[in-house]
Structure 1
């Protein structure tokens, strides 16, 4: 994994958000028209997010150690959040769009108030860089994943630790809740994923099979399936109930950096350094479509809300929309 690469891409209602080095651009997905350029950061913009499902605000996190909050409608910067002492590499809005969480190479996460622009709390407890974080759907808990090989579940209102999830033997690359927040999944450079019980903090299962680093992991919308992406060039789909591997997605000629389900849960989308994205059938593992056209590695991909449009972001400095 490298923090020198441009790896930010986000979809909102009828808009795309992507970073171009020290700026972000907002594009209309229907017309392809550039709506706004968000300028102001003094170093690489690495993390970006819409406040979905509202889609009227944008947060950007930068190697300049700041996070900025913008209007998606006008491109105006509302606030610049200052306080981190190292690069910001991940961020998220809570579901209520009242807080922004930022994760930093300074080993801390911070919570910021969207309305006032003030820092709410600093979540200190990791001993190495935080590189992934996620709110649960209620917005009352946050999980952070770190290069210290652990994930921490936090109580948002108090800023206190609920559980420290220990067991991985390598850096954690991704953390995510399932839809009802009963489970947390973590992906690690130790070539495994682990599934944790949110209430108890106990590890329920270790998902095995990859022979290289696991770079991304996600639940489908119902929380019944888990998809993984690995540097071994394969993706796997697991049952979140039995924790068995249901199918292996093989065909890419290089590491897979991003994986996601369509909203219906019937397809898996993967993005690879082989310059292609692929669409797979969840049940059979068959490759249904190869998206070719980028001239450099694809680092991000996403479905729209309806599941009939795909966006990919590449190191060739372009985003492509596929129907």
Structure 2
């Protein structure tokens, strides 16, 4: 196993509390971050300069997503609100309000729809809603979803549109992953034992044909988007909070660490606060990158595959740029076909 070296990372200091999600836009020139404070930030990904702040939530911002044109940003918060923003001006265009916290939001690939997961509490069932977005005037939106359904049994904590806008892939507290019809809410397929503990992250490959999940059960798994078949398993010795698929190279990136309550009783090394690189095909760990002083909560890889960002319990976002060693590394020999 190698310690992948990267050029000196850029440290982004724009949050006062632990990070909850980081996300690149489609072009990769911007990076968005949200945290357990009520702030959402936008950064230039190449130099870490802060472009702006989206202020308006009154609690932990759990989740965000940006559409394919970098026109709209959507955020979900513990203040029970989902907000639509104009990326360029920072103006809040529209606010949807619910009875419970918004745990996950995601745009469809064409930017026409938003899927939203709300928390299960005594006052309301956990729900998945799909909203049709007015892209011509962001200030005029339908307050009612075009689809609303309540997953039966274990509550959903994550959701994303699948290989098309007609299907939603979900991750659940029990470790289950499932596919739902976005229009009818019918559960089309489920893998009840995809994980043994809560699913903590779900990210699709660029072509959406497969996706990776991470879990508190100390493993990450690669799944087929249409069948939910487990393709590969990456087993670690620490709970995982995030997993991402790297373009260009055959790697998945995993991040996690002991829960925050346990951090004060352990050393940095024991805490396993490293981004871990696993070979996507051979299911073996091939490298690590150190940096955070607490569990890694969220990882995103730049669309061009030449850098990645991680957000930690320590309140920092670290942007890492891979050097030549990352692209030239051949942990299993030269995989290029000979002429």
Structure 2 length-normalised TM: 0.70
- Would the aligned equivalents of 2:166 and 2:183 in 1 still touch at CA under 8 Å? yes
2:94 is aligned, of 121, 131, 145, to 121
- Would the aligned equivalents of 2:20 and 2:311 in 1 still touch at CA under 8 Å? no
User: Structure 1 33/311 Cα, relative in aligned 2: closer, same or farther at 3 Å?
Assistant: closer
1:261-276 maps to which residues of 2 (within 5 A)?
261-263=245-247, 266-273=250-257, 274-276=272-274
1:276-315 maps to which residues of 2 (within 5 A)?
276-284=274-282, 286-291=283-288, 293-294=290-291, 296-307=294-305, 309-315=307-313
Correspondence for 1:257: 241
Task: Quote the offset at 1:94 in angstroms.
Answer: 1.9
The question of 1:166 aligning with 2:163 is answered no
1:53 is aligned, of 5, 27, 33, to 27
- Would the aligned equivalents of 2:19 and 2:312 in 1 still touch at CA under 8 Å? no
The answer to which of 131-140 and 60-69 deviates more is 60-69
1:102 is aligned, of 75, 79, 83, to 75
User: Structure 1 281/78 Cα, relative in aligned 2: closer, same or farther at 3 Å?
Assistant: closer
The question of 1:153 aligning with 2:130 is answered yes
1:234 is aligned, of 219, 225, 231, to 219
Larger radius of gyration: 2
The question of 1:142 aligning with 2:126 is answered no
Task: Quote the offset at 1:194 in angstroms.
Answer: 1.6
CA distance in 2, matches of 1:48, 1:261: 14
- Would the aligned equivalents of 1:146 and 1:171 in 2 still touch at CA under 8 Å? no
User: In structure 1, the residue corresponding to 2:158 is in which secondary structure?
Assistant: strand
Structure 1 length-normalised TM: 0.73
CA distance in 2, matches of 1:70, 1:249: 31
User: In structure 2, the residue corresponding to 1:161 is in which secondary structure?
Assistant: coil
- CA displacement, residues 225-249 of structure 1 (integer Å, 9 cap, x when unaligned): 2322111111222222222223322
CA distance in 2, matches of 1:93, 1:246: 28
CA distance in 2, matches of 1:180, 1:151: 17
Task: Quote the offset at 1:203 in angstroms.
Answer: 1.6
- Unmatched 5+ stretches in structure 2: 1-5, 121-125, 135-140, 258-271, 327-339
User: In structure 1, the residue corresponding to 2:129 is in which secondary structure?
Assistant: strand
User: Structure 1 224/117 Cα, relative in aligned 2: closer, same or farther at 3 Å?
Assistant: closer
Correspondence for 1:25: none
RMSD of aligned Cα (Å): 3.5
- Would the aligned equivalents of 1:136 and 1:181 in 2 still touch at CA under 8 Å? yes
- Unmatched 5+ stretches in structure 1: 1-29
Task: Quote the offset at 1:279 in angstroms.
Answer: 3.1
Bigger relative contact order (CA 8 A; separation at least 6): 2
